[in-house]
Structure 1
Amino acid sequence: MTAFTVPGMTEKQGAEVAELLQQALSRYNDLHLTLKHVHWNVVGPNFIGVHEMIDPQVDLVRGYADEVAERIAALGSSPTGTPGAILNDRTWDDYSVGRDTVQAHLAALDLVYTGVIEDTRKSIHRLDELDLVSQDMLISHAGELEKFQWFVRAHLENSGGQLANAGAGTEKAAAGKARKKSQD
């Protein structure tokens, strides 16, 4: 750890902000890997539309990871983008769906987005007291992540506004519910 941070912030504040951002970096690295996994493993009707919908999301989330890592460095800390960092920072389960249908993957991915967005919003709230610059960065990320989740949910929603994965607590359960509904 260096002995400096950005002007107007104490080293202690800078270290706390960097820790919040490190957690975001791990979330984003995990998310872009998960998105590529879905991209490679989605099958069935609407395959190509979803396959092609995922890549722009991957690119944007990879960009978020880079932006967050650079902010961590600017704060005087060292960003860690290794698989071990993802595992160390992970408060979520590893993505659990392999080769499966569009509906199954999107139902599971909806839960992934919920977790990422909830954690990002918690960081945004904490940054309100610490660093408005980092907060603004995460706010812009949250808006795009919420839009991505809307794209995913549009595939899961029926005409009555109900999601095919409603009430599911795990990715596998969400995938199973959506798979079953698509077969009905």
Structure 2
Amino acid sequence: MVAVKSPLNDEALKIAGDALQGSLVDLIDLSLLAKQAHWNLTGRNFKVVHEHLDEIVALARSGQDDVAERAVAIGVNPDGRARTVADRTSLSQLEAGYLADDKVVAALTEVLAQIIARFRERITATDEADPVSQDLLISIAAQLEKQHWMFQAQV
């Protein structure tokens, strides 16, 4: 098995690796939460929210792939296994069963705010350690913030 030699020193690799792994867990759980809400959504604004949730899923899945590939590129093995995500997620979880559209909008607004706060911490942490990973996190954070704004406008 060939390991990828990292372009980063050990300290920078640890900082960037932790930031990328935390982002990966957040994005995987976001995609799962949004899809769960998508399947169980009810209410007057069903169609609009239903379609908006698919945008969140697409953003999260694209971000997951970019984050995981960046991790591998710097010599870190990404861990997106279900057990890892379940053990490490800190996102608020949805209730089981059918979900009213207003509750989904409020929940996704809160979940996106939680993720954005952590992305901003990771952006700060990777400033000197790995500006390339930082740039990726900034790009994803900008997309998350746009989605947060759009959900927040519906509250």
After TM superposition, the score normalised by the length of structure 1 is 0.78
CA distance in 2, matches of 1:120, 1:82: 21
The answer for the alignment partner of 1:35 in structure 2 is 34
> Which segments of 5 or more consecutive residues in structure 1 lack a partner in the other structure?
157-184
Check conservation: 2:5, 2:75, Cα contact below 8 A.
yes
Shift in Å, 1:12: 3.2
Cα RMSD (Å) of the superposition? Answer: 1.7
Note closer, same or farther for the CA distance 1:91–1:100 as it changes in structure 2 (3 Å cut): closer
The answer for the alignment partner of 1:4 in structure 2 is 5
Q: How many residues align?
A: 154
Note closer, same or farther for the CA distance 1:97–1:110 as it changes in structure 2 (3 Å cut): farther
Q: Given residue 37 of structure 2, which amino acid in structure 1 is its aligned partner? A: V
CA distance in 1, matches of 2:14, 2:63: 20
Q: How does 1:10-89 map to 2 (within 5 A)?
A: 10-89=9-88
Provide Cα deviations, 1:21-49, integer angstroms capped at 9, x if missing partner: 00100000000010101111110101011
CA distance in 2, matches of 1:5, 1:11: 9
CA distance in 2, matches of 1:98, 1:72: 36
Q: How does 1:80-119 map to 2 (within 5 A)?
A: 80-96=79-95, 98-119=97-118
Identity %: 34
Structure 1 consecutive aligned stretches of length 4 or more whose deviation exceeds 6 Å = none
Shift in Å, 1:79: 0.7
CA distance in 2, matches of 1:38, 1:155: 16
Q: Greater RCO between the two (CA within 8 Å, min separation 6)?
A: 2
Shift in Å, 1:151: 1.1
After TM superposition, the score normalised by the length of structure 2 is 0.92
